[in-house]
Structure 1
């Protein structure tokens, strides 16, 4: 769309559009249309129609048809979660007169399709057949009819396709720019079958439980996007064992739990622009890990679940790199194993996301080493990092930043003229810090977005200028007409204004100048300062006693008022080798005589769901967590990963949730850092083989697991 060169033209067009809207001659962006009973039909943007039909039983009925205007407009049909037993050559003929570009038949219990079932859809571009039960031979034959359409994308996920023959896709071999979604089907990679789709440009092969893959004979010369998310790779696949991925631009290998990242396995991907590695368990990152990718634009390497312990210098060294997402890794940016020059060589970096790492002990000089060379940065995100101040290197050297996010930290002071060098800054996010007072010279008035809600504001005359600004430009502060975020801007002091919304304050510059005796205020604040210093000194001297007292009071209160509702009373984390002990000793007592509801993975985990998702859901749905600790548990990588997830949950929700059972003395060579920290901070019960020891063990276990709010309903005892 060309930009108008004459402002007079813009005025005329605006007037015409205003008149047209007033006279209702222009239809809305979404218009509800008359539709088949049980369906919803809408028209979007004047040229597109959607028909949504959910849960229809069409066993002996013709398929529902869209409005007549669909004959000339692009139409998307969603026939999902119903019953359509078969697709004969005539079933879809009812749609031949319409301009159907998108058809979803997801989860309709389809078991049979004819050869020409789809050949009548002469406008079809996207087809979703996922979650049906079509026999592989029938599905293969139906590709013949699909090839007669202008199809570009096919989704055949979750169809239990486990025996894909080499000629499975032969009818689709000449379809240009083809995109295939083949998720949650098999634990093998049907290399020969997939290579038959000669012009395939995109392949999504996630969730197929692959443990390894041999790409030495691969030939995907047209492939531009490849997704291997949610498989079970232990190490990164070797894409350089053959020279057939030369056009690959987008590669996603997320949530595989990989332990090894060998740069030689992807160094040949010279056209790669987007590289996604989230949710893996890489213990270390080497220097120049990505330097051999000349066209790389974006790297996401987040959610490492506390597995990463070594980060070398210049890991991301690449002058082409524009965006790095290195968030939610809980990496301590000061430890000896973490080199502060990790971003050395990123001379073109524009976006850096470091959310939820650990910076609360990082010094000014270390920040300078970390960020000093990133002068091209435009967006910096550092929320939830425990930062206690805004590093000087950011405000003095990173002057091209337009968006700075420092929310959920411990920043308490904004000095005057802090951002005076950041002339391009137009978005600043400082919500949920510890800022009480903001000087008028602390913030640039050129900001288009300023979110500072959730801070403990001191509502004194020093804040009058800020309240006036909020009244004049509420959208700048994220406050909408509906009151969004308005109630998050509250006074914390003085006491007579505590809880009052900033927008409700009745203060003005005149009243502030005339209504206070300067001497009295000065004297009052001096006395308060002395009291504060004396109290602070006393509290610092006895800080550990105070912390212990507060912890015991809070623990006692939590034990009494824990009224949350949970699906399970206890989630039991154990290794496979201790399964017999859990079933024989723990379940009969806790689910039998104690009537507690336990979650054990052999019985209660959802079949078909990823193990990680099962663990997280079970932890969040349980009132207590019991870890059955043994040498087998300590030696298991999966158990260590499960322990990391539990410790993160405990840190966020309270130590009272966790109870440790020691089945045996743990060999010191098996004790990890995480396990040592847990044993030092958590009381544990020791199992004994003598009768009196077992009785004492279960008496203490019952006491620690009892809850006045537990459900006394039906309990399962068998596994």
Structure 2
């Protein structure tokens, strides 16, 4: 907007803003920084005031005054007239009061006003002579008065010195052709008509305003615009209307510009889908086409022949998906700023979005790419897209899904000063990642996935240079590596004072990072050394546990493997037939079970089955070492029979015999025969006994009438060594069993460890 000139000393600016909703973002990005006037900003109000003076009550606690400013706003129906105020008052804020009608003497108490705000006062009418007393009046705010009509506004446009009027948020429709009288407003510069109900605009209406620089029709329903010569027009705001065609900019000769001084053109949120092949905008610097329908950004779309002075291009919130960006789409020798934010463009698709899309912009210093997709963009692709923008000073890439930063990513931008990478997925910042950006003073990396920052992350020069460094909202791992950053955070109030959110430890229950401390002793070992020590200890523990388990269950494992790979019984039978054995069965038992062996086992096996048993109390060679006796007798026996009992598991010699027997079984491809003569609790068994009882079926002695079945099973287990001469009496087996006990039963069980 062109600056309004007043011969007033100590001029200060005050801007009237409308409350609007905006996307939640930590970015400082603002289009007004690049020459654009937002649609929520109206007349610049200039007034004189002693900046050191304090405001005082100047009317019954309803008006507050300084030397030049009176604020009587917000009193509603309690204040319907302008009270007597100091004669030095130049600016009066009388908004949000109940005025209804501005009478002829309404301003009788404040005749020296330069600016008046009557916004939101329910105005219905204005007396034709209401402003006659205000000979210095230049700025008038009348927004949010829905009952004002163009007829009621006629006295406003009779104010000879008027320069700016704010008529936003009304119900105005078509503006009459005679609204502005010829030569009535020689200094009039700006009119703001946002958020009315205007549909058709004929710019010939403003021909009688020779100084007009700003026309603003944002947030209306304008679908038809008739252009007319406006030699002084600087800003044309048509934000959020229904235009389907680009405004005519050339006179009938096709060469002369209708708007030779137009610098700012806001066409955001209309229904445009193309740019004319011929335009006459020699001075245009700022062009906003965001929110329109441009599915393809074609080569030389903004060529100098159309926009010779273009510097800033805004293509935000495109109303349709941007399907392609062709090579050299933005080629222009004067272009300094491009904004493509909020378009969800997936730059991983290189066949749709050319590597050369931004080529041909030698003066580009600002690039706004936030809220597009760079999730899988590699360093190579990133550099092909942007690597030639060596003059880039400001890069916005927030909310873009960026996952990694390397030493090369930003190395092509030696003049980079501002870098916004908020709300991405960056997992770490390599040491020296920004060493190639010596002028960088503002960096936003808040709300990423960065767990730690070390002293080597940023050089000392950059740390001293930062005026804005935001790393808040990252999942910081508060450990030894973060101690340095915690101290830096505590001691640098300037660079970290702009935090978008908090700095908390992710691993210590939301502890603020600046409060995190660790003693030096806790961090004497480097992190990687500590990891090695932990890993070695874990491996040692695993090995010890593994060996312990192997030792504890060695017999179980060996027997399992033996059962898996053991040969057939025929092989063992041939070995028995061809071998030289002294005994048929080696009996391994506790001496406390001698009575059972003598009274039950011997009669059945030696008397009835004619087998020769080896009993250590009877058959061991006197004078020979007991170990040698055990080994030799086991080796010279065809079969091994174990008599398990509670006494057996308490005897160390029995356990030794069992170990020898197991080894013999494994070596000779044989099978053990196990008998339990009483109830043995599994948890009390030794590992070798558990191995036997969990890998093979054993016979449980319970005596009684079931003796026939018990001894029958024993006989079947010894089948391959029984003599083949003569039949054996089955009745004898039953008689023996019956004689031994009428009180017990027998069963065969298989116990799992």
TM-score, structure 2 length as denominator? 0.59
Indicate whether 1:502 and 2:521 are aligned.
no
CA distance in 2, matches of 1:115, 1:58: 26
From the superposition, tell whether residues 137 and 104 of structure 1 become closer, same or farther in structure 2 (CA, over 3 Å): same
Cα shift at 1:438: 2.5
From the superposition, tell whether residues 519 and 85 of structure 1 become closer, same or farther in structure 2 (CA, over 3 Å): closer
Equivalent residue number for residue 472 of structure 1? 491
Equivalent residue number for residue 218 of structure 2? 206
The answer on whether the counterparts of 1:127 and 1:155 sit within 8 Å (CA) in structure 2 is yes
Match for residue 94 of structure 2 among 79, 102, 115: 79
Equivalent residue number for residue 422 of structure 1? 437
Larger RCO: Structure 1 or Structure 2 (Cα < 8 Å, ≥ 6 residues apart)?
2
Cα shift at 1:53: 1.6
Indicate whether 1:140 and 2:164 are aligned.
no
Indicate whether 1:225 and 2:248 are aligned.
no
Indicate whether 1:88 and 2:103 are aligned.
yes
From the superposition, tell whether residues 488 and 163 of structure 1 become closer, same or farther in structure 2 (CA, over 3 Å): closer
Equivalent residue number for residue 370 of structure 1? 385
CA distance in 2, matches of 1:30, 1:349: 45
User: CA deviation digits over 1:451-472, x for unaligned, max 9?
Assistant: 1111111222122221221122
Match for residue 383 of structure 1 among 372, 389, 398: 398
From the superposition, tell whether residues 488 and 142 of structure 1 become closer, same or farther in structure 2 (CA, over 3 Å): closer
Equivalent residue number for residue 477 of structure 2? 458
Indicate whether 1:175 and 2:186 are aligned.
yes
CA distance in 2, matches of 1:129, 1:528: 78
Equivalent residue number for residue 74 of structure 2? 54
SS at match of 2:91: strand
SS at match of 1:264: coil
CA distance in 1, matches of 2:408, 2:502: 30
CA distance in 2, matches of 1:349, 1:309: 24
Cα shift at 1:165: 2.4
Cα shift at 1:271: 0.6
SS at match of 2:385: helix
Cα shift at 1:194: 2.1
Match for residue 444 of structure 1 among 447, 455, 459: 459
From the superposition, tell whether residues 363 and 31 of structure 1 become closer, same or farther in structure 2 (CA, over 3 Å): same
Equivalent residue number for residue 121 of structure 2? 108
CA distance in 1, matches of 2:321, 2:527: 59
Match for residue 206 of structure 2 among 194, 207, 214: 194
SS at match of 1:352: strand
CA distance in 2, matches of 1:476, 1:158: 41
From the superposition, tell whether residues 333 and 235 of structure 1 become closer, same or farther in structure 2 (CA, over 3 Å): farther
CA distance in 2, matches of 1:451, 1:359: 21
The answer on whether the counterparts of 1:220 and 1:244 sit within 8 Å (CA) in structure 2 is yes
Indicate whether 1:332 and 2:346 are aligned.
yes
CA distance in 1, matches of 2:259, 2:516: 63
User: CA deviation digits over 1:448-493, x for unaligned, max 9?
Assistant: 22211111112221222212211221332237xxxx76x7212223
Cα shift at 1:133: 2.7
From the superposition, tell whether residues 101 and 132 of structure 1 become closer, same or farther in structure 2 (CA, over 3 Å): farther
Gaps of 5+ in 2: 1-49, 541-753
The answer on whether the counterparts of 1:158 and 1:185 sit within 8 Å (CA) in structure 2 is no
Equivalent residue number for residue 359 of structure 1? 374
Equivalent residue number for residue 298 of structure 2? 286
User: CA deviation digits over 1:318-364, x for unaligned, max 9?
Assistant: 22122222211111113232223221111111111111000102122
From the superposition, tell whether residues 311 and 527 of structure 1 become closer, same or farther in structure 2 (CA, over 3 Å): farther
SS at match of 1:120: coil
SS at match of 2:364: coil
The answer on whether the counterparts of 1:181 and 1:205 sit within 8 Å (CA) in structure 2 is yes
From the superposition, tell whether residues 305 and 231 of structure 1 become closer, same or farther in structure 2 (CA, over 3 Å): closer
From the superposition, tell whether residues 488 and 203 of structure 1 become closer, same or farther in structure 2 (CA, over 3 Å): same
Indicate whether 1:121 and 2:134 are aligned.
yes
From the superposition, tell whether residues 173 and 369 of structure 1 become closer, same or farther in structure 2 (CA, over 3 Å): farther
Indicate whether 1:250 and 2:264 are aligned.
yes
Q: Considering only CA atoms, is the larger Rg found in Structure 1 or Structure 2?
A: 2
The answer on whether the counterparts of 1:173 and 1:198 sit within 8 Å (CA) in structure 2 is no
SS at match of 1:80: coil
CA distance in 2, matches of 1:249, 1:304: 22
From the superposition, tell whether residues 465 and 121 of structure 1 become closer, same or farther in structure 2 (CA, over 3 Å): same
The answer on whether the counterparts of 1:387 and 1:409 sit within 8 Å (CA) in structure 2 is yes
The two structures, once aligned, show a CA RMSD in angstroms of: 2.9
CA distance in 1, matches of 2:94, 2:326: 52
CA distance in 2, matches of 1:32, 1:50: 9
The answer on whether the counterparts of 1:371 and 1:394 sit within 8 Å (CA) in structure 2 is no
Match for residue 300 of structure 1 among 299, 314, 318: 314
Match for residue 337 of structure 2 among 301, 308, 323: 323
The answer on whether the counterparts of 1:116 and 1:142 sit within 8 Å (CA) in structure 2 is no
CA distance in 1, matches of 2:353, 2:524: 56
CA distance in 2, matches of 1:350, 1:268: 26
Gaps of 5+ in 1: 1-26, 531-719
User: CA deviation digits over 1:410-441, x for unaligned, max 9?
Assistant: 11122222122211112211111111123322
CA distance in 2, matches of 1:345, 1:529: 60
From the superposition, tell whether residues 178 and 461 of structure 1 become closer, same or farther in structure 2 (CA, over 3 Å): same
SS at match of 2:433: coil
From the superposition, tell whether residues 33 and 529 of structure 1 become closer, same or farther in structure 2 (CA, over 3 Å): farther
User: CA deviation digits over 1:563-592, x for unaligned, max 9?
Assistant: xxxxxxxxxxxxxxxxxxxxxxxxxxxxxx
The answer on whether the counterparts of 1:371 and 1:393 sit within 8 Å (CA) in structure 2 is no
From the superposition, tell whether residues 121 and 391 of structure 1 become closer, same or farther in structure 2 (CA, over 3 Å): farther
The answer on whether the counterparts of 1:322 and 1:350 sit within 8 Å (CA) in structure 2 is yes
The answer on whether the counterparts of 2:241 and 2:269 sit within 8 Å (CA) in structure 1 is yes
From the superposition, tell whether residues 167 and 438 of structure 1 become closer, same or farther in structure 2 (CA, over 3 Å): same
TM-score, structure 1 length as denominator? 0.62
CA distance in 1, matches of 2:118, 2:299: 48
Equivalent residue number for residue 553 of structure 2? none
User: CA deviation digits over 1:247-267, x for unaligned, max 9?
Assistant: 1011111122x24131436x3
